[in-house]
Structure 1
Amino acid sequence: MKKTREITLVSLLAGLIIVTGMIKIPSFVPGSEFQISAPISVAIVAVFGFWRYIWAGVMASSILFLLGLHTILNVEISMIFRIVVGGIVSVFGTSFPVLIMAGPIGSFVARLGLAKTLDVTPWPLIIAAVPGMVFTMLAVIPLTKVLKKVTKEVGYFDK
């Protein structure tokens, strides 16, 4: 029963990452729309832990890649972001300042990785990501509170 619950939870989290990744909010900077999956991802790692988050992220990226909705570059950015965010939250805890800074740091490092892969200067990529970083900082705390409340209401951690 416990394995079934764990598989179901990770699958649901992967679905949440996929769906929220499809929701794009336009930005005032052309070409830099923002995916709402970033603050959701930080909230997921804060509430459910590093390994569930990483497995859900691997599952989400694999599904999107296999469906042709993501390229290998999208997967690279996503996985760098996930490892950095998950590492920060795992090492420094789930205090609000840590959660607020984890997303922007993850985005920054992911853009550095993309710039290295493409052999381009990273600053245009980073500047384009700034509106999303700000939105992540603003949205992560309310989303984390919602996820905590949902898990409490359904009694997930009581079982």
Structure 2
Amino acid sequence: MRFISLVFVVFLFIFKAHANSEKNYDSRAKYVYINSIFSDKKFTIYRENNEFGTVYSGSDVQSEAIFCNYYSEFYCVTSFDITFSVPKDINLYTKQWQFKNKIYSVSAKNQELTIWGKNFKDVYIIDGPMTTFIDYVAFPSKQMKFVYSKGYGLLGFGYNDSDNFFWSVSEKGFGSHDL
């Protein structure tokens, strides 16, 4: 009988620790990215629960989003408008990774960057997979770039031209390690 009581107490302890760790995970969060302070171009990643949400492009285009769950080795979001993944354990030795048969690679690391007057250190520049669709229109293949920080998450993303690059205006971007 003592053994069963002990097992039950251990089970409750593990369950409570797991539940508390789930609470710290960003299961409901909103991340906003804008093109410039003078533009109405906006991207919003809205995480409704641990695995599903919505991505809004502009003010009226929306697509369903799927997120990597708490147990995945990646922070990721996949939707029609954006596909992004980064290893949770990214470090200075990380060169590339594969996620859903797509290759991501680090083109610069340990960078310093200032966005909207705020300084960021330990920034990674990530080359995303090639894509042929941008805003629902077919183009010759283009490669999306991502600007990522472990502490602040996805700081920016887009293509190499300034008209299609979006910067975070949220306190933390998607996929920050400080959840």
Q: TM-score, normalised by structure 2?
A: 0.35
**Bigger share in helix:** 1
Q: Choose between structure 1 and 2: higher strand proportion.
A: 2
Asked which structure has the greater CA Rg, the reply is: 2
- With a CA cutoff of 8 Å and minimum separation of 6, indicate the structure with the bigger relative contact order: 1
